[in-house]
Chains A and B, each alone.
Chain A
Amino acid sequence: MTRLKADARHSVRFTLNGKPAEGEAEPRMLLSDFLRHQLGATGTHVGCEHGVCGACTVVVDGMLTRSCLTLAAQVDGCEIRTVEGLAPSADRLGVLQQVFRRNHALQCGFCTAGILMSLDHYLAKNPAPTEADIRDLLSGHLCRCTGYTPIIQAALVAAAELASATKETSDA
């Protein structure tokens, strides 16, 4: 049993996009604030802070997670993926990100980090989604620019591109 005192800061360690991360947090510190303020990982955005808008969505131990509804203390020892982990290197975008860019699937971009995390997680498990599937998934995100149509379009294009990229085309 571990009891962390309210008025003290406690060490929190986890794996962030494959690399060890560490910082200090009071028990009441949200994961979203820990990522942004303690670790400087500002790719994760904070919108409503009560789980409705989806901007802060990250992946914790393979589960889509609202980081504003999660305490930093809860994820000690977990594996966390954020939008910073989607690009294969600093100067290249991942397939999903490229497709978003080509299809104008973002306007102001505030909601994008969360939507990318949801889609990345979903498409890895559901390689051939229907438009209805994507709409259902996106019901967990709010886009203030109301740009849902190109987002849905981009998601379907990304699914097709990712599927063809993994399909074997040669016996060589």
Chain B
Amino acid sequence: MKPPAFDYLRAETVGDVLEGLAQQGGDARVLAGGQSLMAMLNMRLAKPKLLIDIMRLKELRQIERKGDAVVIGAGVRQADLLAWPDLAEALPLVSLALPWVGHVQTRSRGTICGSLAHADPSAEMPLALVALGGEVLLRSAKRRRRVAAKDFFAGMMLTARSDDELIEGISLPVVRGSRFAFREVARRHGDFAIVACAAMKTEAGVRFTVGGVADVPTARDWPRLEGSALDDALNGFAYELGARDDVHATARYRRDLVRMIGRDLIGEVLQ
């Protein structure tokens, strides 16, 4: 199918973007890499009156170390971040998860922040943002605010972004002295995850985060658990996520994956 009709605005400054969003509000959508939004337009699941293309804005294409955080601008493509030489050292979890985002042919165009804006429940970048406890940097013509990852995802493809706000970037903490593991099960590498999981060693024990099951990526912090205590915690979590049957997998299969992958990953980071 083809997209519905819309005006196209090629922004030359961030001010252009904010002004467009202020004027058109919910009828405007920001176009970055287009790997989610263009598909939504082609299928007419989105019908904006105005598209604001931000990809000519150099100031949004920065990856910056700021103290103990990495700030990734709205225009940073997934391939740009994968090619960032500090990625494995500064953001090991992202370096594990990013190769699972789409395919070479979509990561070359798709942006990190675009994936967060789209907020697909099974997408890897929202999972990584929640697992790391990052923040989303929002900006409108009137104000700037930072929203914690757990508050940003409000539901399936729903976020805390207001209609007049641009996701200017995200801030991810550089976590030192930890261990990370990531695993995903999908029908084909690069397809939407049936279940994706991340484990991170914390001071008290472990944080385990699951995507693809509930409407939003969901994290649990546990003390160091082993044996049947770990099995019980994982089983409880798997049920709390409220898995549903769909054409790709049954709810029971999803719970099985959470339990099995959880045991493996938590064992890996706590060994």
Q: Which residues of A contact B (CB under 8 A)?
A: 1-7, 26-28, 30, 33, 49-51, 54, 57, 63-66, 68-71, 73-74, 118, 122, 136-137, 139-141
Residue of A28, A54, A57 with highest tally of chain B CB at under 10 A: A28
**Is there an interface contact between B42 and A68, defined as CB atoms closer than 8 Å?**
yes
| Interface bin, chain B | 35 or more
A-B contact count (CB 8 A): 112
Chain A residue nearest to B16 (CB atoms) is A1
Residue of B nearest to A49 (CB): B42
Which of B7, B35, B49, B53 contacts A74 (CB under 8 A)? B53
0/1 string, B48-66, CB within 8 A of A gives 1: 0101010100000000000
Closest 7 CB pairs of A and B: A140-B103, A27-B8, A69-B38, A140-B105, A50-B39, A6-B5, A63-B108
Is B147 in the interface zone, CB < 8 Å from A? no
Q: Which residue of A lies closest to B45 (CB)?
A: A50
Shortest C-beta distance, A142 to chain B (Å), equals 9
- Least CB distance, A114 to chain B, in whole angstroms: 8
User: Is B26 close to A, CB under 8 A?
Assistant: no
| Cβ contacts under 8 Å, B7 to chain A | 3-6, 27
Instruction: Assess whether A1 is in contact with B9, with CB atoms less than 8 Å apart.
Output: yes
- Chain A nearest CB from B210 CB (Å) reads 23
In the bound assembly, the distance between CA atoms of A28 and B31 in angstroms comes to 13
Residue of B nearest to A60 (CB): B109
Q: B5 to A26, Cβ gap below 8 A? A: yes
Q: Are B108 and A139 in contact (CB under 8 A)?
A: no
Cβ-defined contact, B38 with A70, below 8 A = yes
Cβ-based interface call for B34 (8 A):
yes
Residues of the A chain whose Cβ atoms lie less than 8 Å from the Cβ of B8: 3-4, 6, 27, 71, 73
**Separation of A78 and B55 alpha carbons in the complex (Å):** 13
- Max chain B C-beta neighbours (<10 A), residue from A6, A118, A122: A6
Given contacts A1-B13, A51-B106, contact A28 B39 (CB under 8 A): no
CB-defined A-B contacts under 8 Å, sample of 22: A2-B9, A4-B9, A4-B10, A6-B5, A6-B49, A28-B2, A28-B41, A30-B2, A30-B42, A33-B2, A57-B105, A64-B109, A66-B106, A68-B42, A69-B39, A69-B109, A70-B38, A71-B34, A74-B34, A74-B53, A118-B105, A137-B103
Q: Are B104 and A137 in contact (CB under 8 A)?
A: yes
How far is the CB of A38 from the nearest CB of chain B, in Å?
14
Complex formed: what's the CA distance from A6 to B12 in Å? 19
B-chain residues with CB within 8 Å of residue A139 when the two chains form the complex: 103, 188-190
